[in-house]
Amino acid sequence: MKLTEISTIKALCSQFGFDFKKKFGQNFIISADIPEKIAKNASGICVIEIGPGFGTLTDELCRVAEKVVSLEIDTSLIPVLEATVGKYENLKILFKDVMKINISELCREEFGDKEIAVCANLPYYITTPVLFHLLESEVKFKNITVMVQKEVAERLCADAGTSEYGAITLTCQRYGKVKKLFDVPKYCFYPSPKVDSSVITIIPEEKEDIYVKNEELLKKIIRAAFNHRRKTLVNALSAEFGQKTKKELEKIIVLNGFREDIRGEKLSLADFAKIANSL
Ligand code: SAM
C-alpha cells in the first residue's frame, strides 16, 4: 500500500468513510521522498510523532526508529491506522490531543532515559503552540524535526528587529539551534493547503555564554515583550509586572545599556537574559 498515492488515500477514505477535517489541519503528504527525509532524524532512537493522519510518516518512522509513540486527536482515524500501520510492534498510538499531554511525563513513561526525537508534519492551526509545548517541556530531545508553514519557519530563524522575530524565535534560540532543512511546495499535500511549507530541525545546544538566573522569569519577560509588540519594553513589562513601578523598570533597562524607549523586538536573547537577571 503506497500511502503517498492519491488513489490509495481516496480508497482508504471510501473504505473507512473518512472525511478530511479542516479544523484538525489534515493535509497529508503525497510526495514519496518526504517521509524518509524527515524520519532519518529518528534513525535508531525513540520518537514522538504528532498527528499520524493515515500513517504515511508513521510507516517510515516505524521502519527506522527503535520505538514510535504517535499522538492523534482524531479518533475516526483508529480503523484507518489499524489497517495502514497496525502491523508494527514498535508503534504505540495514543488518541489524544498533544496539547493535553504532559510531554516530560510521556517521555519518562514510554522511553525512560533513551534518546528521543520528535518528527511530525504539524497541523497548521496549532504549529506555534505545539512548538512552545515541546520546547517548554524541558525534555532534551535529540532533535525536533517538523514540517511547518514556510512563514513559521522564517519566524523561527528570524533576526532581532525584523517583523518575523517573536517570542517563538527566542524560545527556540533558548532551546537550541534552528536549521531549515528543505522547502515543500503546497502540491506535495492532499488536500493541498493554501501555503507552502518547510521542514526545520531544532537541535538542543547549551548556551554557556548566556547566563540565566531564572528561566521562568525569562520566559515571562519574552512573552510580555511580544504580547505587547507595539509598546515600548517598559510599557509591555509594566502591563505584566504590576509590582514594579515604571520608573524601576526604566532604570533596569537603562542600567543594562538600552534606551528607555527600546522595544522588545530589538533585543537579542542575551539582552533579554540580562534584563531578566536584573529584574
Ligand atoms: N502525518 C500525516 C501526514 O503527514 O500525512 C498527517 C499530518 S496532518 C498535517 C496533521 C495531523 O495532526 C492530522 O492527522 C490531525 O488529525 C492531527 N492533529 C491535529 N490536531 C492535533 C492535536 N491537537 N493533537 C494530536 N494530533 C492532532
Domain total of the chain: 2
Any domain includes 209: no
* Pocket lining: 127 vs ligand 1, CB cutoff 6 Å: no
Cα dihedral sign for 3, 107, 109, 37?
positive
* Pocket lining: 35 vs ligand 1, CB cutoff 6 Å: no
Judgement on whether residues 59 and 183 belong to the same structural domain of the protein: yes
> Which atom of ligand 1 is found nearest the CA of 189?
5
Residue identified by cell 515600548 is 232
Judgement on whether residues 189 and 87 belong to the same structural domain of the protein: yes
Q: Which domain holds residue 261?
A: 215-278
Judgement on whether residues 119 and 44 belong to the same structural domain of the protein: yes
Q: Which segments in the chain show pLDDT lower than 50?
A: none
Query: Which of 204, 225, 254 is at the close of a domain?
Result: 204
pTM metric for this prediction = 0.94
* Pocket lining: 117 vs ligand 1, CB cutoff 6 Å: no
Judgement on whether residues 17 and 122 belong to the same structural domain of the protein: yes
Judgement on whether residues 40 and 143 belong to the same structural domain of the protein: yes
Compute, in angstroms, the gap from residue 45 CA to the centroid of ligand 1: 22
Q: Which of 121, 126, 131, 190 to mutate to test the pocket of ligand 1 (most atoms within 8 A of CB)?
A: 121
Query: Which of 149, 176, 204 is at the close of a domain?
Result: 204
The C-alpha atoms of residue 231 and residue 239 are separated, in whole angstroms, by 10
At 124 the pLDDT is 93
Using alpha carbons, list the distances in angstroms from residue 270 to 211, 222, 250, 266.
8, 12, 18, 12
Q: Please give the helix or strand (H or E) that residue 233 lies within, else none.
A: helix 233-240
Q: Which of 1, 5, 21, 24 to mutate to test the pocket of ligand 1 (most atoms within 8 A of CB)?
A: 24
At 243 the pLDDT is 83
The C-alpha atoms of residue 157 and residue 119 are separated, in whole angstroms, by 19
Any domain includes 210: no
Judgement on whether residues 36 and 153 belong to the same structural domain of the protein: yes
Of all residues in the chain, what percent are helix, strand and coil, respectively (each to 5)? 45, 15, 35
Q: Which of 50, 68, 124, 148 to mutate to test the pocket of ligand 1 (most atoms within 8 A of CB)?
A: 50
Residue 219 sits in a domain whose CATH number is 1.10.8.100
Residue 132 sits in a domain whose CATH number is 3.40.50.150
Judgement on whether residues 224 and 105 belong to the same structural domain of the protein: no
Judgement on whether residues 199 and 261 belong to the same structural domain of the protein: no
Judgement on whether residues 43 and 103 belong to the same structural domain of the protein: yes
At 208 the pLDDT is 83
Judgement on whether residues 83 and 139 belong to the same structural domain of the protein: yes
Judgement on whether residues 43 and 178 belong to the same structural domain of the protein: yes
